Structure 1
């Protein structure tokens, strides 16, 4: 992680994978100190079981974005779209380029995508821990197209569970990049999984949309590490896989390298 240059305006999209299973007291206090008053209030309203996840997500996000903006983590101001997608305030004159970003959390991993590239208009990401999917047939009928559901239900477990999660991560990343509601729009997208098995390298996926949706952007999927599946959708005319840069760290290491 020491190769990263603070304030560097990269032509790439940076994908940060953070292991969040350990959040030591010093890291917790540092993260709490950089939260806004609204975030502090939201943290207190959460159940204790999910407070750590929220603190890790917001703390890591603020400290990562500070690297791209040159601003202190606590000084960053967020605005929210109609469906709750966060963005940095475009009215903040301190930024030469307002970074595009998105984040997702599953299991013990946090995935954050950030870009300052001029041609990147929006980003959506999702990460899912590979696991058995309860009520698989019902979820397929509710969230997948008929063709997608057929491919899932024709497979044995656990391949069927993993194929469902692949459709889910891809659709969620696309819809988050568009800034629209996820659950009610899942069937408005159909993914063409021409390469059946993912690897640690990003695989391009074609997404076909209904006429009421904008184009979901360029979609890639991969295994960030064993046991996890990731997806990123970027609103851009064309995205070469070489423009995706990968970083892996922990919250404590992130603070130590600041």
Structure 2
């Protein structure tokens, strides 16, 4: 098999539905001993299943880019708490996210990257969370919308904010109100995204950041945030792989 090519201005986005994959001893065998122990700590079947598939998924994906078996990948945790692959010949960076319905993995070269996924129809107290975690400008955007549009808009902002703090590696310690996303809906599935930083934000140059929203189906929203080492970098080429490609990976185990 020829390795899958990826270039510096590209992001490859993989998705898989965990319910379509069965747990097998072969999948567990792909994981390191430490990873296996972490998976087994989950007492409930569904979280354990997701934990197993997430760890196996990244290993299977990485082996599409280099001639290395899935079990041979080594990982470490960066000083900021981000998982990183340590034995690749490529400067691969990745990020994972999941909910009850989908697992996603974003792959690129060199750039800091974060991704997140949410169900747009999930019912929560959006106003309470927005008041606590959103910037004033984001909260104003939310409140200006009719109530029947606020839930979906909240999750678009939330996924972007989650993807951003995952890309920085700081998590919520970044301070979720220290940066703001401004969303302008161009069409049903096209959103213009602008990012600003407050003086308290650890990031200073918005021109290094590119942010994207994707809608893999009628109920889910995927956010992607990527930091380039230079300002005003060329727009990224985002390649979304059909789930059939992800399912094919698991059939090789």
Root mean square deviation, CA, Å: 2.3
Aligned 8 A contact 1:198 1:223 in 2: no
Find 1:33's aligned residue among 25, 29, 34: 29
Match of 1:19 in 2: 17
Counterpart Cα distance in 1 of 2:95 and 2:70: 16
Residues 198/169 of structure 1: CA separation in 2 closer, same or farther (3 Å cut): farther
The answer to whether residue 224 in structure 2 is matched with residue 232 in structure 1 is yes
Residues 127/66 of structure 1: CA separation in 2 closer, same or farther (3 Å cut): same
> TM-score, normalising length from structure 1?
0.85
Counterpart Cα distance in 1 of 2:240 and 2:115: 14
Q: Where do residues 66-215 of structure 1 align in structure 2 (5 Å cutoff)?
A: 66-89=63-86, 92=87, 95-116=88-109, 120-182=110-172, 185-195=175-185, 198-199=188-189, 203-211=191-199, 212-214=201-203, 215=205
The DSSP-based 3-state class of the residue aligned with 1:14 is strand
Segments of 5+ residues of structure 2 without an aligned counterpart are: none
Counterpart Cα distance in 1 of 2:58 and 2:188: 27
The DSSP-based 3-state class of the residue aligned with 1:8 is coil
CA drift at 1:114: 0.6
Match of 1:253 in 2: 248
Counterpart Cα distance in 2 of 1:197 and 1:87: 36
- How many matched pairs? 243
CA drift at 1:219: 0.7
* Runs of 4+ displaced beyond 6 Å: none
Counterpart Cα distance in 2 of 1:24 and 1:96: 31
Q: Per-residue CA shift, 1:54-85, capped at 9, x if unaligned? A: 11111111100111232111111111134432
CA drift at 1:21: 1.7
